[in-house]
Amino acid sequence: MILRIRRNLCLGCGLCVESCSRRAISIVSGKAYINLKRCNQCRACLDICPQEAITGAVPVSGRELQGTVTGLRDKAEGIIARIERLVERG
């Protein structure tokens, strides 16, 4: 998981800076900044941020993403087919 700052939500309050035992977070130009080389993904900053400006993103490969999209499409098509059968029965 990679932690990211949603800068449009960050108030620069510094609570995340105080919560980080690794000193991986600082305030730069009035907004939080995470040094990913220092971050150990403890997620303490996620819990402390009052704005929910810190999010976790899980990197996935294009192949994984395509598989997820295909699976969701197949499920949606199955649901639609069942609905259509129910409508036909009327």
Question: Other CB atoms closer than 10 Å to residue 44's CB: what's the count?
Answer: 17
Binned at pLDDT 50, 70 and 90, residue 7 comes out as: very high
Is the pLDDT at 90 greater than 80, yes or no? no
CATH number of 1-59: 3.30.70.20
48, 10 contact by CB (below 8 A)? no
User: What residues pair up with 55 in beta bridges, in sequence order?
Assistant: 4
**Sequence-separated (6 or more) residues with CB below 8 Å from residue 86:** none
The rounded distance, in Å, linking the Cα atoms of 55 and 8 is: 12
Its pTM stands at 0.64
Domain positions in the chain: 1-59, 60-90
Q: Tens digits of per-residue pLDDT, 17-35?
A: 999 999 999 999 999 999 9
Q: Tens digits of per-residue pLDDT, 32-74?
A: 999 999 999 999 999 999 999 999 987 788 999 999 999 999 9
5-16 mean pLDDT: 97
6, 54 contact by CB (below 8 A)? yes
